[in-house]
Chain A
Amino acid sequence: MSNTKLELTPGPATSPEHEAFLRSVRMEKIKVRVTQILILVIAFGLWEICAQLRIVDPFITSQPSRVIQTIFTLHQEGVLFHHIAVTCVETIIGFLLGTILGTIIAVFLWWSEFISKVAEPYLVILNSLPKIALGPIFIVWIGAGPAAIIVMTLAISLIVTILEVLNGFIAIDKEKIKLVHIFGGSKTQVLRKVLLPASFPTIVNALKINVGLSWVGVIVGEFLVSKAGLGYLIVYGGQVFRLDLVMTSVFILGIAAAVMYQGVVLFEKIVVKNPK
């Protein structure tokens, strides 16, 4: 039984061929990473130089040094982390709510075949509708504030989650469910012992998709209504023609989104034990 492990962790490389192979794999990795960093440095470098030499107009394109400057200014004004926090909190609430509510609704749809059949065409229409079109409706109904932004986010991620998780439920081997019935299990037990644990990877996957979708929802929401947040900074910067502010916000947004995505990936690694 331990031979599965042996395959995963190769023993000491005895043959020179194997060592050469390992070296080439390492080299390849290093090459990729160096090229990636180089591209970044060159791109920002060119951008900076072009702006310095007035080949492009930094008033329109901004430039890396100004972005850094803007970050400092925002920090000195004491609003930098406020804006970041507002957007991140809205996003986190949005994708957690989207995933949890979506899963709960999927459970209901699985529970009652009747409801599921009735809901099907509505889900299809809602899924294909560009949810951003609903933004003004939410603002009128809920008021221009964080609540409307979160609802916007929810609107974007909810239907996808429902469909994703429901498909996960349906894909589960019927015989596994039969097994629970054989032992005299109830529908609740089927849910607890089979459905939820079996679709846990699907749910975590939905979480991953929802991180991305929630950023879209939050930024669109902030474009429409907000008084704070990165989306607000972007719109505001655009309106007053401060491209430095816009670029800075986009830059921070990229980092925040990447960090959050990695967070979910890490969560997945910890929680979805994958016994091999």
Chain B
Amino acid sequence: MKKIVQIQNLGMKYQSLNGEINALTKINLDIHEGEFVSIVGPSGCGKSTLLSIISGLIKPTEGRVLVDGETVSGTSRKIGYMLQKDHLFEWRTIQGNIRLGLEIQKNITPDTKAYMEHLLQTYGLFEFRHKYPSQLSGGMRQRAALIRTLVTNPQILLLDEAFSALDYQTRLAVNEDIYSIIKKENKTAIMVTHDIAESISMADRVVVLSRRPGTIKEIYSIEIDIEERTPLSSREAPEFQFYFQEIWKELDVHV
């Protein structure tokens, strides 16, 4: 399989008047096309920093990231980035919010409009397209934010604790939704989460980072033997508990 993201000897030091913060050091990781990778690690270990570097929003102080074989030097249309909160603009309708990326990329064509409608319809927001964000539930807002990202058709999705604002029930449902969307659209996904269960239930691989400066401690390949794997069915699989304990131990030792 093709290596779509290559992280090579990556390091990041933040400078401030109070001194230097060594956020990441010597990260090496290859991610394959269509793969779902979860990243877990103690708070402040540099997970968001890692995603921001991959997205091209910030430049690493050491090493480099390659996407599709090219060094990342700025934001790119190949990458979609979903933040922790949905950040829907309250002054735009749902449809207006979903158009944002296309507007910015000056890419509103009959094709992209049709794709937008298709996504709205598939993910149950079509009737709500003229509503304002305040009129939607948390789960629907999160889905709208996902469509806003998907409609620009990125190959790679970065999710930074994208579901942590949701209550547990909604979160499970949105996990289900988003997992199926990502698989159906054949995207590559990198997801940062605090929730070990969530990381296992969604991912093909779980990357455990150490305390700051974050570096890779362990990578678990999640092999769950179910035919139509979904986050919920993964949670019920017998292997789930095993992975959970392994990752929990790995994290707990140094937290």
Interfacial residues, chain A to chain B (CB-CB below 8 A): 1, 4, 173, 175-176, 178-185, 189, 193-194, 197-198, 200, 273, 275-276
Classify the interface of chain A: helix, strand, loop or mixed: helix
Chain B hits for A178, CB < 8 A? 57, 83
Asked whether A182 lies within 8 Å of B57 as measured between CB atoms, the reply is: yes
Asked whether B89 lies within 8 Å of A275 as measured between CB atoms, the reply is: no
Asked whether B104 lies within 8 Å of A184 as measured between CB atoms, the reply is: yes
Task: List residues 70-96 of chain B with CB under 8 A from any CB of chain A.
Answer: 74-77, 80-81, 83, 85, 87, 89-92
Asked whether B152 lies within 8 Å of A198 as measured between CB atoms, the reply is: no
Asked whether A182 lies within 8 Å of B91 as measured between CB atoms, the reply is: no
B49 at the interface (CB under 8 A from A): no
A184 to B102, CA, bound (A): 10
B135's partner among A184, A193, A275 (CB-CB below 8 A) is: A275
Chain B hits for A4, CB < 8 A? 135
A1's partner among B77, B83, B104, B136 (CB-CB below 8 A) is: B136
Asked whether B89 lies within 8 Å of A197 as measured between CB atoms, the reply is: yes
A192 to B88, CA, bound (A): 16
Asked whether A194 lies within 8 Å of B134 as measured between CB atoms, the reply is: no
A194 to B75, CA, bound (A): 18
B183 at the interface (CB under 8 A from A): no
Of the A-B pairs whose beta carbons lie under 8 Å apart in the complex, a sample of 29, sorted by A's number, is A1-B128, A1-B135, A1-B136, A4-B135, A173-B87, A175-B83, A176-B89, A178-B57, A179-B83, A180-B100, A180-B104, A181-B75, A182-B80, A182-B81, A183-B75, A183-B101, A183-B105, A184-B74, A184-B75, A184-B77, A184-B105, A185-B104, A193-B104, A194-B89, A197-B89, A197-B91, A198-B91, A275-B135, A276-B134
A198 to B92, CA, bound (A): 10
A197 to B90, CA, bound (A): 10
Among residues of A, the one whose C-beta sits closest to the C-beta of B91 is: A197
B246 at the interface (CB under 8 A from A): no
Given contacts A1-B131, A275-B132, contact A175 B87 (CB under 8 A): yes
Chain B hits for A1, CB < 8 A? 128, 131, 135-136
Chain A hits for B142, CB < 8 A? none
Chain A hits for B77, CB < 8 A? 184
B103 at the interface (CB under 8 A from A): yes
B55 at the interface (CB under 8 A from A): yes
B55's partner among A175, A182, A200 (CB-CB below 8 A) is: A182
Chain A hits for B90, CB < 8 A? 275
Chain A hits for B83, CB < 8 A? 175, 178-179
Chain B hits for A197, CB < 8 A? 89, 91-92
Asked whether A189 lies within 8 Å of B104 as measured between CB atoms, the reply is: yes
Among residues of A, the one whose C-beta sits closest to the C-beta of B79 is: A182
Chain B window 115-157, contacts with chain A (Cβ cutoff 8 Å), 1 for yes, 0 for no: 0000000000000100110111000000000000000100000
Task: List residues 43-76 of chain B with CB under 8 A from any CB of chain A.
Answer: 55, 57, 74-76
Among residues of B, the one whose C-beta sits closest to the C-beta of A2 is: B135
Known A1-B135, A182-B80; 18 more pairs at CB < 8 Å: A1-B136, A173-B87, A175-B83, A175-B87, A176-B87, A178-B57, A179-B87, A179-B100, A182-B75, A182-B81, A183-B101, A183-B104, A184-B74, A184-B104, A184-B105, A193-B104, A200-B91, A275-B135
